[in-house]
Amino acid sequence: MPERDVTVGQLLLTEYQAVKDEQKTRIGFRDNLLYVTLTVVAAVIAAAAQAKQPAMLLALPPVCVVLGWTYLVNDQKISAIGAYVRGDLGPRLAALAQAESGEVFRWEAAHRGDSRRVSRKVTQCVVDLLAFCVVPLSALVVYWAGGDVSAGLAVVSLVEAVAVVGLGVSVVRYAVPFGAGGGAG
């Protein structure tokens, strides 16, 4: 039998490195989306207040929905990578190494079992809802309460409200373990 230049184990370790690099990149991108959202919110609120134009607040819902959805999608991919390493890649490498599955990439599972994980997940869900949903809904309430609401912008604002609520539902569904959204890792 000819000698192989590359082993299955080497290929799996290369795959592991590639998916962990992707996960690391997505984590950085995801985490920066919160800072971007806060910056945009502050800029829009300041501009609307300075110009005394509450209609400018209508820029917040679409921006927050796009940034929030991007955050949620990246968070899901981060979790999916972890699940793939725990449930597929790790066991295949363990089998090749003739080791117990739990002995390979132990951190992938260990960090999920600490006693404060649930409280961190709940807190993160609240932060996500505040940043991506409560702030734009508050902007809509301020706009609606401002009194000078045109029919066209009222329709736009209602559509925005539906989009924000839809994002909020997705955030909560995704955060609930074993829910339809899959639960975050």
pTM reported for the whole predicted model: 0.86
Write out the two tokens for 16: 């592991």
Quote the number of domains for the chain: 1
The per-residue pLDDT for 41 is 97
| Those residues with Cβ within 8 angstroms of residue 70's Cβ, 6 or more apart along the chain or in another chain | 33
Residue pLDDT, tens place only, 141-172: 999 998 788 999 999 999 999 999 999 999 99
Alpha-helical (H) ranges within the chain are: 8-51, 60-84, 90-97, 107-110, 117-129, 135-145, 151-175
| 183 within domain boundaries | no
Per-residue confidence band for 180, with pLDDT thresholds at 50, 70 and 90: very low
Range of the domain at 56: 8-175
Whether residue 24 contacts residue 94, with contact meaning beta carbons closer than 8 Å, is answered with: no
Q: Is 6 helix (H, G, I), strand (E, B) or coil?
A: coil
User: What are the tens digits of pLDDT across the range 117-141?
Assistant: 888 989 999 999 999 999 999 999 9
Asked if 68 and 171 touch (Cβ cutoff 8 Å), the reply is yes
- pLDDT grade, residue 183 (50/70/90)? low
Interval 96-104 mean pLDDT: 81
The answer, yes or no, to whether residue 42 has pLDDT greater than 80, is yes
Specify if 185 maps to a domain: no
**pLDDT per residue as tens digits for the range 24-36:** 999 999 999 999 9
String of b and e for 144-167 (b: at least 16 CB within 10 Å)? beeeeeeeebeeebeebbebbeeb
Out of 14-18, 70-74, 102-106, 151-155, pick the least confident: 102-106
Rounded Cα gap, residues 10 and 74, in angstroms? 28
pLDDT (tens digit per residue) in 51-88: 999 999 999 999 999 999 999 999 999 999 999 999 99
* pLDDT at residue 106, rounded to an integer: 80
Q: How confident is the model at residue 103 (pLDDT cuts 50, 70, 90)?
A: confident
Nearest CA-CA partner of 175 in 29, 63, 76, 68 = 76
Does the pLDDT at position 97 exceed 50? Answer: yes
